[in-house]
Amino acid sequence: MNVLELTNKVRMEAEDVKRIGLPLDAFPQKLQDIIFEVARIEQFDLEYLTMSMLSAAAIAIGNSCHIRIRGSWKSCPALYVILIGRPGQGKTPPLDYAFRPLQEHDFLQVSKFIEENKRYAELNAGNKGNATDTDKPVLVQTILSDLTQEAMMRIHNDNQRGIVILVDEIMGFFNSIYRYNDSPLLTQLLTAYSGKPLKVSRCNNPVPIIIPHPCINIIGTTQTQRIGELFTKENVSSGLIDRILFLHPKNRDIPKMEENPDAGMQGNDRAESVYRKWKAIIDKLLALEPDHDEKGVIIPKVLDMSEDTYRCFAKWKNTLIEKANSFEDERLIDSRMMKADSNVARLALVFQLLGWACDEIHMQHIDVCSVQAAIRMYDYLELSYQSIKSHIQTDSMPPLKKAFLDLIHPDFTTADAIKAGAEIGICESTVKKDLAKMCEEQILQKTAHGVYKKLL
């Protein structure tokens, strides 16, 4: 164990990282050091900062590299992420920090475009209106905040590497999608997540925009009391909810501000030094150059899993399949669980390339450690999802149903449920119907004939 590893281990114990469940030890040592330093200097929440950095890294990688999951099934590292917390909990500052290198990259692209456009205009003026052989400059942008479907497609067409929809209050974005019943933006986002080509026709142009390899990321924040707006029947049935990674930190205290003004002043130089380290990692990922075919279409580099890595991934996936196969009633199968492999594979790709960007591992293929890190990170995020789902369901639950659930033990039988129902005036037939319904709502899980388990 080197000095940095030892230092990070001590920090984890001091910050009680094990209690919150964040698998920070699975991250590259260099990045762990940056995360601890930034959290200390800027007084950021560790969980928000870590997830924001993972998302930023995924965007920096974009379509430069894909992971082969199985056979012809390949995936870009695009992630859909929502950071959830109470007002003032500090969701936005770490998100802004993590994305600062990408914002600066976009600013440079704007400056470059202005200069190139100026030269292009001068060339055209010199030719007195005759066409030149020089291609018209294109503004390449990565970060989008307010957009329509056509604008998203146009910007992604100009930046085949990938884009991110970055919205501080994400519910405003999703609600705007549903403002018009015929809005195809949600359909395009679901199609993009699956890796299928996107196509949109334009009113003033007979040639449609086609994105062969979509890579669209989403990240934003919302308050705990608003997240329930997203869990509509349509979003659940369409599979949108299954694709989103939710972060609801275990540590929900609003951080206190440092009262010593000298401490704030003295931290400026150190803060910039640490930021430069983070920026160097993102810049190294942005420098990954994919190939292009003769038509200019991007050709991502594909990273395969090593034999040991594939066995590790398949073994994990098979445990989920076995769990699904144990249910005779297909309505009881958790659709989110069956889609977990896609997010785990994407996280594994991000972990592998973060390790490479930190000069700690290679980027020839996906290692076992990257898949193991991805599984741990996904499991940690699933606890957040369960926490949020429990909050939403409990918050909207009728008082009688709440009272019924309070009376039964975590594991119970049909007879126990009938007895609990009788105590609050619910008849036996209604109890049995409610048990089946609550299993469909994933409030309960039927573990055997006449045996149930509370999921909330």
Predicted confidence at residue 441, as pLDDT, reads 75
The pLDDT, as a whole number, for residue 262 is 56
Same domain, 122 and 253: yes
Query: How high is the pLDDT of residue 128?
Result: 62
143 with 78, same domain? yes
For the chain, the residue count is 456
Higher pLDDT, 145 or 416: 416
pLDDT digits (tens, 9 = 90+) for 303-330: 999 999 999 999 999 999 998 888 777 7
Which residues touch 236 (CB under 8 Å, ≥6 apart)?
A: none
Q: Is the pLDDT of residue 122 over 90?
A: no
Task: Check residues 125 and 163 and name the one with the higher pLDDT.
Answer: 163
Query: Is the same domain home to 343 and 444?
Result: no
Q: What percentage of the chain carries pLDDT values higher than 90?
A: 67
CATH number for position 430: 1.10.10
Same domain, 380 and 445: no
What 3-state class would DSSP assign to 235? helix
Say yes or no to pLDDT of 127 above 90: no
Q: Tell me the pLDDT band of 35, cut-offs 50, 70 and 90.
A: very high
The residue among 177 and 416 whose pLDDT is bigger is: 416
pLDDT score recorded for residue 437: 86
pLDDT at 181 over 60: no
Handedness of CA 182, 188, 193, 197 (dihedral sign): positive
What integer pLDDT is reported at residue 145 of this predicted model? 85
**How many C-beta neighbours within 10 Å does residue 67 have?**
27
pLDDT for res 303: 98
Domain boundary residue among 375, 394, 413? 394
Angle between helices 46-61 and 92-126 (to 10 degrees): 30
Last residue of a domain, one of 394, 414, 446: 394
Predicted local distance difference test score (pLDDT) of residue 47: 97
- Shared-domain flag, residues 358 and 250: yes
Residues 405 and 289 reside in one and the same domain = no
185 lies in the same domain as 261: yes
User: What pLDDT, on the 0 to 100 scale, is given for residue 159?
Assistant: 96
Mean pLDDT along residues 256-264: 65
The residue-averaged pLDDT of 162-176 equals: 91
Average of pLDDT values for 32-48?
A: 96
Mean pLDDT of the chain: 90
Q: Which of 299, 296, 337 minimizes the C-alpha distance to 317?
A: 337
* pLDDT value at residue 196: 94
89: CATH: 3.40.50
Q: Tell me which residue range forms the domain holding 124.
A: 3-394
Q: Are 299 and 370 in the same domain?
A: yes
> pLDDT: is 400 or 375 the higher one?
375
The answer on 256 and 166 residing in a single domain is yes
Q: Are residues 376 and 441 in the same domain?
A: no
Residues 333 and 430 in one domain: no
Total domains in the fold of the chain: 2
> What is the pLDDT at residue 121?
87
Flag whether the pTM goes above 0.85: yes
Long-range contacts of 358-366 (CB under 8 A, 24+ apart): 358/28, 358/29, 358/30, 358/31, 358/281, 359/30, 360/28, 360/29, 360/30, 361/28, 363/65, 363/303, 364/303, 365/303, 365/304, 365/305, 365/306, 365/309, 366/67, 366/303, 366/304, 366/305, 366/306, 366/309
Q: Are residues 381 and 408 in the same domain?
A: no
User: Quick one: pLDDT at residue 180?
Assistant: 57
| pLDDT at position 267 | 66
Q: Which secondary-structure segment (H or E) carries 206?
A: strand 205-211
